[in-house]
Chain A
Amino acid sequence: MMRNIRWLIAALAAFALVAAACGSDDAETASAGGDADCETVDEVTLQLQWVAQSQFAGYYAAVDEGFYEGFCLDVEIIEGGVDIVPQQQLGSGAVDYAIAWVPKALVSREEGIDIVNVAQVFQRSGTLQVSFADAGITGPADLAGKKVGSWGFGNEFELLAGSRTSGVEPGDDYEIVQQNFDMLALINGEIDAAQAMIYNEYAQVLETENEETGELYQPEDLNIIDWNDVGTAMLQDAIWADSPRLADDEAYQDQTTRFVAASLQGWAWCRDNAQGCVDVVLNNGTTLGSSHQAWQLNEVNGLIWPSPGGAGVMDTDLWDQTVEVATSEEVLSAAPDDGSFTTEYAEAAIELLAERDVDVNGESWERVEVELLPGGE
């Protein structure tokens, strides 16, 4: 017995050692290579909202194509999970920067998490309300009398405010139904209109076989309400930084400018090298469907480009609109203070990129045709 217990303990200890060794991989791979002469390389962590996908392509491209390295940064991208709230990770000091939607970050800010928007990467909202063409829902007024799906949890405000602009009162004039993060309820006919991101769930419908025709659903089969057109769109993916650190840490200030610059360079690269960029994403998320990710990148590019005021620079009209919707829908109790965003770092980053001949406006960018395959494969 004794011998066996000893053996058991030894085996467990061996397990523990091996597991610990597996846990602490990521050896130091920082190198001051690339086109930069770096005296020091700063280690930086970036928290995403979700796992690797084209929504975050620019950051992955900046790692894999060496843009961060070119700005003397060694960036580790930390993916999101079900329970990870990026702005809280940032506020707790677990990461250096976080990607978050503006209204959600502002709510956290109101709750006392002191963060600041340093680059508004997505200049448009990607949220749609999607319905089948035969339901005839082409604008918010048509929602009256319908069953309308929404994800809730702070994703419903563009819809609520948008329908009110047409005098259609949520709850009274149409029914809001809690919707899962997929399009099943729409396809099964349980709801008339479903919430969808143009770069994700909308494509999922187009990757599904229409049982009547035996072909995939086509864009002609669907109607969309785009909240950018209605005027209740809220700003989404932005880079957030830690306010107190930014206020008095010069190294962090300098690092932030370089981080924003390299990130925007990554996005510019993904604009000009769509296929290469999709490959970068696929290499970082090995179970993702490649046609779906190609679609996603194309649409995400459409949310960023063109950026007339320069990529990452806040469009103050859209900021005001976001705040207006958020306060009128009582998401925020008051408009946020001036410290909630700054264009200083994005503007400095654009200057750095101009030295490197990076086009930060993308005026000539055009959407390409992406063929979706069944299941997004």
Chain B
Amino acid sequence: MRRALSVLGGIGTLIVLWEGYKAVGGLTGDQWPATPWGLPVPTDDLTMPHVIDIMRTLGRPVQRGRDEILAVFLFKAALSTFWKAALGFALGTVIGWSLAVLMLRSRLVERGLLPWINISQTVPLIALAPIVVTWGRTTFLSDSLSVALIATYLTFFPVAVNALRGLQSPRPADLELLRSYAATEREILMKLRLPASRPYLFPALKLAATLSVVGAIVGEISAGVRGGLGRAILEFASRYSTAPARLYAGVVGAALLGLAVFGLVSLVERSAGRGAGRSLAGEGT
């Protein structure tokens, strides 16, 4: 309850700031009050539509003569993007985690692999996206799967890096204790390293979840894939000069989707957290 209130409060504050900035700009002619300096962003309705106009746009038909309103359309689009992002997130998590375990096993692998993992993230997404889509089309991948792969590319990185740190986090004394019990590396991994990695892993998963949405949307925009939020944003952007509120509505939709996936991972984290104490206390063996 308090959480819901604080979220609402946050949104309310944002709206007040937006409209307040707009009002100030309107009064001073886009200048800081009592100074000759211009505001960084002009406050006209084209650049910053009123919040109420964005809300109204959401309630209007997506196309003249059609029953579906924009909010419903965006919800469906968000759902389409969500599945691509979710697949990308799942693949990215598995790949990232596998890489972390691989690097954990051998310092040589870690030293050889880690720089490449870092370098991989310097490849701009807009360069990568058309390559993946074109490659997908010449093989067997549908465009949706290509978009999921683009999301994977963004998500595996934080998972790999943080999982590695987490798996390496147990104190040497704890490791030695388990080894003195003749525990296998696999047992150490499952009983010690994995639980210890939780505080590192979940922040990474939350980051990865939001990144997977970004990756899916960028992939959709880049390749023009039908159905998702990226495509909606692409179309609204090309009509920005005559209908700015629609683009903002699309952006709000993307932000809400990002929040939703973040929330989903947080839920999983909390349910995992509830079980953690119990499992350390005696589950297993």
Contacts and interface: CB of A to CB of B under 8 A. Distances in A.
B90 interface: yes
B47 to A, nearest CB: 10
Contacts of A376: 239, 242
A2 B137 CA distance: 40
A57 to B, nearest CB: 16
B238 interface: yes
Interface in A362-377: 373-377
A23 B225 contact: no
Interface stretch (B22-30, B161-169, B275-283): B275-283
A19 interface: yes
A2 B89 CA distance: 21
Interface string B234-249: 1110111111001000
Interface stretch (B12-20, B58-66, B170-178): B58-66
B148 interface: yes
B130 interface: yes
Interface string A179-205: 001111001000000000000000010
A1 B279 contact: yes
Contacts of A11: 268
Interface string B84-123: 1011011101100000000000000000000000000000
A22 B280 CA distance: 39
Given A8-B268, A82-B222, A88-B134, A289 B64 contact: yes
B180 to A, nearest CB: 23
A286 interface: yes
A5 interface: yes
B224 interface: yes
Nearest to A182: B241
A119 interface: no
Interface of B is mostly: helix
B206 interface: no
B234 A183 contact: no
Contacts of A88: 134
A287 B235 contact: yes
A229 B87 CA distance: 53
A252 interface: no
B6 to A, nearest CB: 27
Interface in B25-81: 46, 62-66, 68, 73, 80
A183 B234 CA distance: 17
Contacts of A81: 130, 133, 220-225, 234
Nearest to B279: A1
Interface in B187-229: 190, 194-195, 198, 220-226
A94 to B, nearest CB: 4
A23 B242 contact: no
Contact of A289 (B63, B87, B138, B221): B63
B271 interface: yes
A214 to B, nearest CB: 15
A83 B235 contact: no
Interface residues of A, number: 57
A288 interface: yes
Interface string A1-29: 11111011001110110111011111000
A79 B234 CA distance: 12
Contacts of A13: 90
Contact of A51 (B64, B84, B234): B234
Of A2, A22, A287, the most chain B CB neighbours within 10 A belong to: A287
A84 B91 contact: no
Interface in B143-166: 143-145, 148
A83 B126 contact: yes
B272 A19 contact: no
A12 B142 contact: no
Interface of A: 1-5, 7-8, 11-13, 15-16, 18-20, 22-26, 50-51, 78-85, 88-89, 92-95, 181-184, 187, 204, 207-208, 282, 285-291, 373-377
Given A23-B144, A182-B240, A187-B241, 12 more contacts: A1-B195, A13-B90, A15-B89, A24-B144, A51-B224, A82-B222, A83-B129, A84-B130, A84-B222, A287-B73, A287-B232, A375-B242
Of all A-B residue pairs in the complex, the 10 with the closest CB atoms, nearest first, are A81-B224, A19-B87, A1-B279, A23-B144, A94-B137, A83-B130, A12-B90, A182-B241, A4-B272, A375-B242
